Amino acid sequence: GRYATTTEVYPDSPKATGEICNEAQVAAIVAALDFILAPPTGIPRFYPIGTPGKPWSDDERKQWKDSRKFHRSYKEEVLDKLDQIKLDNNDAMEVVQYGALSHDSERYPLFAVKSKQWEEDKLTLLVTGGVHGYETSGVQGALLFLQTKATKYTERVNIVVAPCVSPWAYEHIERWNADLKDPNRSFKKGSETEESAALISFLESLNVKEWACHLDLHETTDSDKTEFRPAKAAEAGSMYKDGIIPDGFYLVGDSEDPQLDFLQAIIDGVEKVTHIAPEK
């Protein structure tokens, strides 16, 4: 047969009786029947769009996009702040447009901020925010760094900050971009989104021989469990598996090159401001 197993009960257990063992065997049979009589995928509905177990069609992808709502203004919360940063730090920093999203180029220009005192022999820092547009502090934290701290380091370090890599997703508080693609999974040749391709092209134009440090600013929110992870699984036709949302600040390191001293230095700095997520 397609499915087969052997059941085993333990009638000598002090927790069991003969009647309980009989009921356990019946429960096993009923569970098996429920499984083989379920829809072919065996996947329950966990997201309102699509058919469980089947990848989304173009119509279902359009349904998702059409159901997204505007929540906040990229112009007011990002572009206007960049204008002010340009005014306040004209001697030290410059604001550079490196592209625009093709589906609305006027509404979604793409900007980075870089230090003017650029020298090849300096260490070079890259900060990216808003790769996932819904992660607010990645965007606003990058802008706050530019407003309050960046100019203190420009004599010693070349600085590049792309504060809002995915502006459509920022406005709609989404992980995906308008094409249902995740820019964070697209920073490699052949699978770029518009957002990642534009940023890669800009960074390559700087001819940096070696980036001394890259901080990619992210958040993990409760909506990861209620919206974004379920949507990702539904779109792929996969089963949704619940995950853990850590309570506090944490870092994602490179398993092949952990650089634990670097990560610990960041944890020590952040611990002065907020709590750190438990290890487990």
Mean pLDDT by groups of 10 residues along the chain of 280 residues: 80 88 90 74 82 93 96 98 93 96 97 96 96 96 96 95 98 96 86 91 95 94 93 93 89 88 94 89
Taking alpha carbons only, the member of 157, 154, 155, 175 closest to residue 221 is 175
pLDDT at 268: 94
Q: Please give the C-alpha separations between residue 144 and each of 77, 141, 206, in angstroms, as whole numbers.
A: 12, 5, 24
pLDDT at 42: 65
pLDDT at 2: 77
pLDDT at 87: 93
Tell how far CA 167 is from the center of its chain: 14
Q: Please, what is the end-to-end C-alpha distance for the chain in angstroms? A: 41
Cβ neighbours, 10 Å, residue 166: 33
Burial of 137 (0-12, 13-18, 19+ CB in 10 A): middle
Q: Is the pTM of this model over 0.75?
A: yes
Q: How far is residue 58's CA from residue 64's CA, in Å, rounded to a whole number?
A: 10
pLDDT at 38: 65
* φ, ψ for residue 56, nearest 5 deg: -65, 145
pLDDT at 280: 66
Q: Coil, strand, or helix at residue 124?
A: strand
pLDDT at 244: 87
Kindly state the tokens that stand for 90.
Answer: 């004209």
